[in-house]
Amino acid sequence: MDQKIDQEVIVIGAGTIGCAITYYLAKNGVKVRLIERNTVGSGNSSLAASLLTKIRSKTAIIPLVEETYRAVDDLNQDLEEELDIQKVGSLHLAASPESINSLDTMLGIADDFEIPHSEIGESDLKEMLPWLKADEIQKASFMPEDAFLDAYVLANAFAKAAKKHGASIQQYTKVEALIKRDGEVVGVKTKDGDLFCNVVVDAAGAWANLLSIQAGVHLPMAPVRSNYWITAPNPELFSPDQPIVILPDASAYTRPEFGSLLFGLRESNSVHFDPRNLPEDLGGYVFGDPEDQWNILIDKGERFQKFFPEFQDVAIQHYVAGVSTYTPDGMFVLGGMPEVKGFLAATGCSGAGVAVSGGMGRIICELILGVDTFTDIEQFRIDRFGKVDALSHEFRQRCADARSNKKSG
């Protein structure tokens, strides 16, 4: 039976990833519809710390981050308004021989990618970060180009610009199922009826496997909890323009949040979730044991306090938890499967989905246009782990371990 093609492409999920894909496709003249069951950016994107650090130990990721910065410039032009990107730079701090070694490796990578950096001495460090016990730091490197940009704002900017380029953005519509015919995905089922297209892109974040498994594809990733805290404002310790901090010796990162400090502490044993148990709307959802927000502070806070002596005394005003989609090797899930035509996925962002959203958007667009991708995507192949049961406890644990062992930005 012939069915009427409603769109060339349907993108499922309006997080930063789905919105970026829709933007690149629309900008390149592809007839595309973005379908979101809630509102644009309201999923895990609304919870991100939104660091856009360029330097990565996994070098295949760097071109994708650089593309996001290019996309932000394009969005400013397309929308004729400036996105509120905070170009505060980042400080990479090392306080042990092991982390000095890792930092030196990172600086070598920065040189290869022509990412500027400079060494910072103790007195400058004290001035830049009044909260830091600078004499604990043995090596500090400043990367002036790094920034952060609220992921919710970025997702909405991508969506708005995509709409300007002709995309349809359909909110409050759940994709109930993929429609498959003769081994090919040909459309999606929604409460308003069936929609047909040439390509379906699964950008449904933590829930992506619930759709792809219907097409026989287990995406090698799982939802894993990330957390951060925000202190009360303290103008003497936290200026709004102080740099992002990456501090592997305390499993910590920080960034300014107006006059407060946002800090993340990586758990020793990250918690993973079965996507079938995650709610469709994350509003008010408690990710795991509610006591964990204190347990992690107790477990990791002592180490952090070594570098931040007033830590025990500052008031904490907010705790934020959400899930990122992690893979066992910390790389992404990008592209299709040769045996399932008409289906692509873009997920498994391993805690970097905001930073790489532009790169992911461009790659999926290039795959759909059938042109060479601007960077090598071999390391992101969906089938690189062979056959996996993505919903099994054992596989999800491998993904959670990847987060626990993550060292850099």
Ligand X SMILES: Cc1cc2nc3c(=O)[nH]c(=O)nc-3n(C[C@H](O)[C@H](O)[C@H](O)COP(=O)(O)OP(=O)(O)OC[C@H]3O[C@@H](n4cnc5c(N)ncnc54)[C@H](O)[C@@H]3O)c2cc1C
Query: Residue 146 CB, nearest distance to ligand X (Å)?
Result: 11
Instruction: Give the interface size with ligand X as a residue count (CB under 6 A).
Output: 43
Is 330 an interacting residue with respect to ligand X (CB under 6 A)?
no
Query: Residue 214 CB, nearest distance to ligand X (Å)?
Result: 10
Query: Residue 177 CB, nearest distance to ligand X (Å)?
Result: 9
Helix (H), strand (E) at residue 341: strand 340-347
Q: Closer CB to ligand X, residue 283 or residue 338? A: 283
User: Near ligand X by CB under 6 A, which window of 35-43, 126-134, 231-239, 376-384?
Assistant: 35-43
The three-state secondary structure class of 1 is coil
The owner of tokens 């400043």 is 142
Query: Residue 265 CB, nearest distance to ligand X (Å)?
Result: 11
Instruction: Report yes or no: 246 and 142 within 8 Å, Cβ to Cβ.
Output: no
Give the span between the Cα atoms of 374 and 352, in whole angstroms.
Answer: 19
Please identify which residue in 89, 187, 205, 275 interacts with ligand X, judged by CB under 6 A.
205
Measured at the alpha carbon of residue 40, what is the angle toward residues 34 and 42, in degrees to the nearest 5? 135
Query: Residue 396 CB, nearest distance to ligand X (Å)?
Result: 16
72-111 positions binding ligand X, by CB under 6 A: none
CA 92, distance to chain mean position in Å, is: 20
- What is the DSSP code (8-state) at residue 384? T
User: Near ligand X by CB under 6 A, which window of 39-47, 116-124, 191-199, 213-221?
Assistant: 39-47
The owner of tokens 């461009």 is 362
Query: Residue 225 CB, nearest distance to ligand X (Å)?
Result: 7
What stretches of 13-128 adopt beta strand conformation (E)?
Answer: 32-35, 90-94, 118-119
What stretches of 135-278 adopt beta strand conformation (E)?
Answer: 139-143, 168-170, 175-181, 184-190, 193-202, 222-231, 244-247, 252-257, 260-265
Please identify which residue in 11, 17, 261, 337 interacts with ligand X, judged by CB under 6 A.
17
Query: Residue 364 CB, nearest distance to ligand X (Å)?
Result: 12
User: Near ligand X by CB under 6 A, which window of 11-19, 124-132, 289-297, 308-316?
Assistant: 11-19
x/- map, 381-400, ligand X, by CB under 6 A? --------------------
138-197 positions binding ligand X, by CB under 6 A: 151, 174-175
User: Near ligand X by CB under 6 A, which window of 2-10, 157-165, 198-206, 267-275?
Assistant: 198-206
Instruction: Report yes or no: 208 and 222 within 8 Å, Cβ to Cβ.
Output: no
216-255 positions binding ligand X, by CB under 6 A: 226-228
Residue 288's CB: how many other CB atoms inside 10 A? 15
Give the span between the Cα atoms of 123 and 262, in whole angstroms.
Answer: 23
Please identify which residue in 7, 9, 13, 64 interacts with ligand X, judged by CB under 6 A.
13
Query: Residue 23 CB, nearest distance to ligand X (Å)?
Result: 13
x/- map, 345-364, ligand X, by CB under 6 A? --x-x-xxxxx---------
The residue among 227, 239, 247 whose CA lies nearest residue 88 is: 239
Distances (CA, A) of 46 to 155, 163, 282, 302: 9, 20, 10, 29
Give the span between the Cα atoms of 328 and 221, in whole angstroms.
Answer: 7
The three-state secondary structure class of 373 is coil
The residues of the shown chain that bind ligand X, judged by CB under 6 A, are 12-18, 35-38, 42-45, 47-51, 151, 174-175, 203-207, 211, 226-228, 320, 322-324, 347, 349, 351-355
